[in-house]
Amino acid sequence: MGPSFNQQFEQHDAWRRDFARRLRQLAGWLSSHDLMDESVRERMERLEAQVRTDKIMVAFVAEFSRGKSELINAVFFASYGRRIMPASAGRTTMCPTELGYDAGQAASLRLLPIDTRLSSRGLADWRSVRDAWEEIPLDVHDGAQIAAAIAKVAEVSPVSVDQARALGFWHDELPQENPPQNADGMVEVPKWRHALINLPHPLLQHGLVILDTPGLNAIGAEPELTVNLIPQAHAVVFILAADAGVTRSDLAIWREHLADTTDNAAARLVVLNKIDTLWDTLSSASEVQAQLQRQRHASAETLGIAPEQVLLVSAQKGLVAKISCDDVMLESSGLPELEDALAEGIMGQRQNILRSAIGAALTGVRSETARVLNIRRRDLDDQMVELGSLRGKNAAVISAMRQRIEQERDEFGQCAAKIQAVRAVHLKLLRDIFDRLSARALKAALAGLVQALRQKGLKLGVKKQYADTFDQLRRVLDEAQANATEVQAMLAGTFRQLNAEFGFSLQVPQPIQLDQFVLDLVRIERSHAQYLSVGNALKLVQSEFAERLARALSTRLRAVYESAANDLELWSNAAMAQLDAQLRERRRSFSRRIDAVDRIQAAASGLEERIAEIEEGQQTLDGLSERLEQLTQSLLAFPALSAGDPQNADPFVHANPA
């Protein structure tokens, strides 16, 4: 049996932390040799933060009574020797629950009251309003106390029909979806809107985030859950009951919220849970297996996915088997197969994403640093030629050379004014792009759609307004791309001119590509589309639901625009950092040349000493270039190696300090 999901996740985390350590050491090496300009520093810091703080979210989605919480217990929390998530019969998780770990916060359960839905604030905004949450400390050494506290996510509150309607749990036009009324005419709704569990469980400490979602009614009532959280999960596990297969409500969840969740099929799994209910002593093992396979293929066909994406599991037997160390029962439960699929889909996906980010960033760092080293090498070569020409010359010649160097330095000062002009034009063009991607501009672009959603009664024309809005949003990104291309063309011409006039070696930056953000808009448009379907028209009649939908959409789009702006800023900083670096190196060169002439004038032996220093400096630069190539190549190759590979030689540990 291969390593469990827990073990593979820990290996991934060890890989991540080791790589972050190597990045930090590379940054230290660059800084110690004065090769760390602001652009390189920003790239290194962002890359290390991305690798070190990378989170992996797994969302568990199901209708009520499918064994979802039990499956979470079996996969992640069997080490406690008991159930942690509530998994009794009937409805358990009544509100969306996130499990993660933040070392800066105490272990706790935080619960957001359901009546916050009546506020104009979105769920994302409430996260930072700490006083709004009820907080319960968790004793990390007491599994029973943790389980008792977490059981509160199953709490309900009796409210009037009017209150239930305002909260999004009662629909006059859809009576079949409404909760039952008691003798007093009251209905039960979830007591909490959202739960955050901060727990130093090993997997959560390693960056895992678990999202436990309630059934169809609660999912549909919280657009921010289905529009923001679930689509951003790196893996989605959809749970069905093996004896029932795909029910009508299961199919509704799948079609409305999960069918287009991710482009990575390996990270979208369907679990036919409770297969032990079909283990019949009156049927042979082969008959039971044949029945399970029929259910598997029927479910796959109904959901429109490959049968390989449907896994047969008994979460309850798997949990018992883990606690009792029963390997035979564990294998029969199907849990190891699910863990393998999760590990393969998630870890492979995350390492590919990180490898791509690492490759792009490190290639840029290596190119920029190599350029600085080449500038230094060229300056030393020029000095060597210059000083060699002084051999056997008298004091007057040496004095004339000093005057010539000073004249070159003064003439070079003229380029500073040109560079300031370039910077001013560059910043003006960028400000135009950033204005297009600002929160203010986004709000204006969404105004028509928000107004259409806020109209009373049936939202006539909202579907067309929705399509028009996304067309406009895509045009904004297209215009930002065109403007960025204009900036790049301007820099290309300016860089060529500076290279010709002042002997710079400025490299024209590659054009930035915003295609990824356009794809993000397509995904968001697709994930919202189900809310505008005929089936949801009656829900949209409710102003509170429409308002929550508008807020969820705005939150997600704001994140896309902010990411695009951040990428543009990083690209811009990298382009302009070349100017700063080469200006700095040229000024240093003038200082070194004048200092060398002064030393030669002061002592007869100064010329040969300076020539020897330059030769030594050239050797040092050769060594730095070789070391830079070795360190960056090691980092670029590192992600392809297995975690803990003994042959993965660490050049940082045995490195020559030079």
Q: How confident is the model at residue 46 (pLDDT cuts 50, 70, 90)?
A: confident
For 481, 492, 579, 645, the CA distances from 426, given in Å and listed in that order, are: 15, 12, 13, 47
pLDDT tens-digit series, residues 93-128: 678 889 999 888 999 999 999 998 888 777 778 888
Check pLDDT > 70 for residue 223: no
Compute, in degrees rounded to 10, the torsion defined by CA atoms 585, 586, 590, 591: -30
Three-class secondary structure of residue 210 per DSSP: strand
Strand partners for 108 = 137, 198
Closest CA to 600 of 400, 327, 317: 400
Q: How confident is the model at residue 264 (pLDDT cuts 50, 70, 90)?
A: low
The CATH superfamily holding the domain 57-155+191-333 is: P-loop containing nucleotide triphosphate hydrolases (3.40.50.300)
Q: CA–CA separation, 106 vs 139, rounded Å?
A: 10
pLDDT tens-digit series, residues 466-497: 889 999 999 999 999 998 888 888 888 888 88
What's the pLDDT at 603? Answer: 64
| Residue 179 DSSP symbol | P
Strand partners for 311 = 271
Give this prediction's pTM. Answer: 0.69
Check pLDDT > 80 for residue 292: yes
Check pLDDT > 70 for residue 552: yes
User: For 272, left (φ over 0), alpha (ψ -120 to 50), or beta?
Assistant: beta
What's the pLDDT at 231? Answer: 75
What's the pLDDT at 299? Answer: 92
Strand partners for 212 = 60, 97
Location of structure tokens 């996969």: 75
Check pLDDT > 50 for residue 658: no
Residues 6+ apart with CB under 8 A from 63: 215, 216, 247, 249, 250, 253
| Residue 403 DSSP symbol | H
Going through 221-319 in order, the beta strands assigned E by DSSP cover 235-241, 268-273, 310-312
> Which range, 27-41, 89-103, 206-220, 260-274, has the best average confidence (pLDDT)?
27-41
Higher pLDDT, 264 or 324: 324
Is residue 73 within 8 A of residue 181, CB to CB? The reply is no
Name the average pLDDT for the chain.
81
What's the pLDDT at 222? Answer: 67
Terminal-residue alpha carbon distance, the chain: 46
Higher pLDDT, 533 or 211: 211
What's the pLDDT at 656? Answer: 43
What's the pLDDT at 267? Answer: 67
Would you give the distance in Å from CA 526 to the centre of its chain? 20
3-state DSSP of 250-317: HHHHHHHHHCCCCCCHHHEEEEEECHHHHCCCCCCHHHHHHHHHHHHHHHHHHHCCCHHHEEECCHHH
CB atoms near residue 471 (< 10 Å): 11
Closest CA to 185 of 202, 148, 149, 160: 160
Give the mean model confidence (pLDDT) for residues 365-376: 83
Please report the sign of the dihedral spanned by the C-alpha atoms of residue 492, residue 494, residue 498, residue 500: positive
Q: Which amino acid is at 603?
A: A
Three-class secondary structure of residue 604 per DSSP: coil
Q: What are phi and psi of 197, to 5 degrees?
A: -110, 120
Q: How confident is the model at residue 645 (pLDDT cuts 50, 70, 90)?
A: very low
Is residue 379 within 8 A of residue 585, CB to CB? The reply is yes
User: For 100, left (φ over 0), alpha (ψ -120 to 50), or beta?
Assistant: beta
Q: CA–CA separation, 95 vs 370, rounded Å?
A: 54
Check pLDDT > 80 for residue 266: no
| Residue 181 DSSP symbol | B
3-state DSSP of 138-176: CCCCCHHHHHHHHHHHHCEEEECHHHHHHHCCCCCCCHH
- Classify strands 208-212 and 56-62 as parallel, antiparallel or unpaired: parallel
Give the mean model confidence (pLDDT) for residues 567-590: 81
Higher pLDDT, 408 or 157: 157
Q: Where are the domains of the chain?
A: 57-155+191-333, 417-597
Give the mean model confidence (pLDDT) for residues 263-280: 78
Give the mean model confidence (pLDDT) for residues 597-614: 74
> Which two three-digit tokens encode residue 5?
């999901």
What's the pLDDT at 643? Answer: 38
Residues 6+ apart with CB under 8 A from 285: none
What's the pLDDT at 360? Answer: 75
> Which two three-digit tokens encode residue 168?
């999004």
Closest CA to 74 of 87, 64, 61, 55: 87
